[in-house]
Structure 1
Amino acid sequence: MEKIITYKDFTKVDMRIGTIIDVKDFPKAHRPAYQLSIDFGELGIRKSSAQITTLYKKEALLHRQIVAVINFPKKQIANFMSACLVVGAVKANDVYLLHPETKVKNGVKVS
């Protein structure tokens, strides 16, 4: 069953466009994952752990623009501090990254 939220609830979620500038394997993660460094322009560079290894190779992720939620509290995953949540569509256990159709400025707000 879907959970109904108000528009005011939605406006609390700060989603931004960022460009992945570094991708590393994350062997200490519970499930296969990458450690991503993402450039959000004037908002700075943030790190995220992403369980996207089944569909994406590291080389294909580098310089790719993505959508991420940037106003969650930081979360420690093993020895890594994740500071944003990369957004994707989930089918079975695969995550398909959401991204802009054309290149946009890093840090642009998604609404």
Structure 2
Amino acid sequence: MNNQITFEDFTKVDLRVGTIIEVNEFPEARHPAYQLTIDFGDLGIKKSSAQITTLYKKEDLLQKQIVAIINFPKKQIANFMSECLVLGAVNGKDVTLLNPETKVKNGSVIS
């Protein structure tokens, strides 16, 4: 195990469910990626850059629910401002998105 954290540390991470409502190519990214627009319900719309091009086509991502950390500071990636971190299981260059088993309300808390 790397670094242990306390439960208090974990509670600082705001994990939420959102639905991808727009997907765009991101040719300016250093590594192949998409620009995602994600609806988090009452929390609003956020954008994210995601290196998920090896397993997902743009059309497969539309209306897909995902899990993201929404309380990281914004991060400049090339000419794009990423506002949240979409979570996935990493296996080499392949990233499998984490998502709820059944559809839930956008903005739902992951705990």
TM interval, shorter chain, is over 0.9
CA positional deviation for 1:92: 1.4
Q: CA RMSD in A?
A: 0.6
Spell out the pairing of 1:1-111 with structure 2 (5 A cutoff): 1-111=1-111
Q: How far apart, CA to CA, are the structure 2 residues paired with 1:4 and 1:94? A: 26
Give identity over the alignment, percent.
73
Equivalent residue pairs, number: 111
Gaps of 5+ in 1: none
Question: CA offsets per residue over residues 14-52 of structure 1, 9 Å max, x none?
Answer: 000000000000000000000000000000000000000
Gaps of 5+ in 2: none
**Where in structure 1 do 4 or more consecutive aligned residues deviate above 6 Å?**
none
Relative to the length of structure 1, the TM-score reads: 0.98
Question: CA offsets per residue over residues 58-88 of structure 1, 9 Å max, x none?
Answer: 0000000000000000001011000000001
CA positional deviation for 1:2: 1.8
